[in-house]
Amino acid sequence: MKADMLGAARAAASIAPNLRVDLYSDTNSRPTPGMRKAISEAECGNEQALEDPTTNALQERVAELLGTESAVFLPSGTMCNEIAYRVWARQGDAVVMDKTGHALLFETGGPAALSGLMITTIDGPDGIFTGQHVRDVTSGGGRHAPRPKIVNIENTSNLGGGCIWPIETIKDVADTAHSMDMIAHMDGARLMNAVVESGIPASTFASNVDSVWIDFSKGLGCPIGGVLAGPANFIDEAFRIKHQFGGALRQSGMVTSACLYALDHHVERLKDDHENARTLHAGLRDIPGVTVQNDVCQTNLVFFDVGGTKLSAPAVASALIERGIRIGAQNETKMRAVTHLDVSTNDIKFTLTALRDILT
């Protein structure tokens, strides 16, 4: 997309006067009244001295959920990835991930800037790859190649369209990584979507990887935060790097109370988001000139291409904004809609009516 077009789409998005349906991102949901109440009643202490009871409780709860020895609360999912990479790898090492990986495209070069790491990419369908893919991109360089040290599994895959990694594929990739003296790390920004949709426990998804994290600011609807989990010695070191990166907090119970609330109240309801995404996906399929990226909509992300209509994606985004609907343009033809707890079934119907009107 040309910079001016992207700028125009962004400007249109930012000045929406009467935004009614925000499908731009699942990070755009607002704390619910129940969550705000939990925040206002939170017990707090100094996190850096391990004295915040709410943060300690959240860390223990997530470690149990993911079946790991320990866990640490971090301000963002980006920090979960970047700290894990820093702990596991040395300068000049390579992180292997899909070409659509968040850490490759959207973390402002963090692996290189913060830890001196290279990224080796795999072209996997729907952001999902196999152990053979890992072998294919890492063999052949010998002593001269960057040392492949981490394999990054993004579950669900964001740009892949919210697809869930099959358990046997995770095991295959993790086993391959381990056989090559590499670490398997799971970016679980939307792992709970995968859990709710598949019925597979989070600890099963996490059982073959060395480190894993979940994000609270996406489908779970919290204002900030992620929790990185793994073996105790890894988390001890992650805590040290958290401090070094300036992410060690004080009375973080003010935010981790929201995360505990979300684990109690916002997990099962992710099914509603998936249902809404499927309705949108099915409706888009029926609009002439629109192509949906994924044959099946598994979770809460719907990518679609408007190249077969007369309009560009930024033009569609602008037309939607005028009707109080926000959907992001990814490039000149591609768009992404994300369902979350502030989007209702009626909002989806309203959006589909608008899209049919604009596109046909």
Ligand X SMILES: Cc1ncc(COP(=O)(O)O)c(C=O)c1O
Q: What are phi and psi of 250, to 5 degrees?
A: -110, -100
Q: Minimum distance between the CB of residue 80 and ligand X, rounded to whole angstroms?
A: 7
Q: Minimum distance between the CB of residue 156 and ligand X, rounded to whole angstroms?
A: 8
Nearer to ligand X, 93 or 154 (CB): 154
Handedness of CA 326, 330, 331, 335 (dihedral sign): negative
Nearer to ligand X, 161 or 283 (CB): 161
Residue ranges in contact with ligand X by CB under 6 A: 76-78, 102, 154, 158, 187, 189, 215, 217, 226
CA-to-CA distance for 297 and 319, rounded, in angstroms? 25
Collapse the DSSP code of 105 into the 3-class scheme (helix H, G, I; strand E, B; otherwise coil) and give the result.
helix
* Integer CA distances (angstroms), 231 to 84, 228, 234, in order: 12, 10, 5
CA-to-CA distance for 67 and 134, rounded, in angstroms? 26
User: In the complex, which residue's CB is closest to ligand X?
Assistant: 77
Is residue 256 within 8 Å of 220, Cβ to Cβ? no
Nearer to ligand X, 303 or 359 (CB): 303
In the numeric block, the tokens 């086993």 are attached to 175
| Residue 50 burial (CB count, 10 A) | 12
The letter for the amino acid at 289 is G
Q: Return the structure tokens found at 27.
A: 């990070």
Nearer to ligand X, 83 or 317 (CB): 83
Nearer to ligand X, 29 or 217 (CB): 217
Q: Minimum distance between the CB of residue 26 and ligand X, rounded to whole angstroms?
A: 8
Nearer to ligand X, 210 or 215 (CB): 215
Q: Minimum distance between the CB of residue 77 and ligand X, rounded to whole angstroms?
A: 3
Q: Minimum distance between the CB of residue 81 and ligand X, rounded to whole angstroms?
A: 6
Q: Minimum distance between the CB of residue 11 and ligand X, rounded to whole angstroms?
A: 21
CA-to-CA distance for 78 and 131, rounded, in angstroms? 25
CA-to-CA distance for 80 and 219, rounded, in angstroms? 17
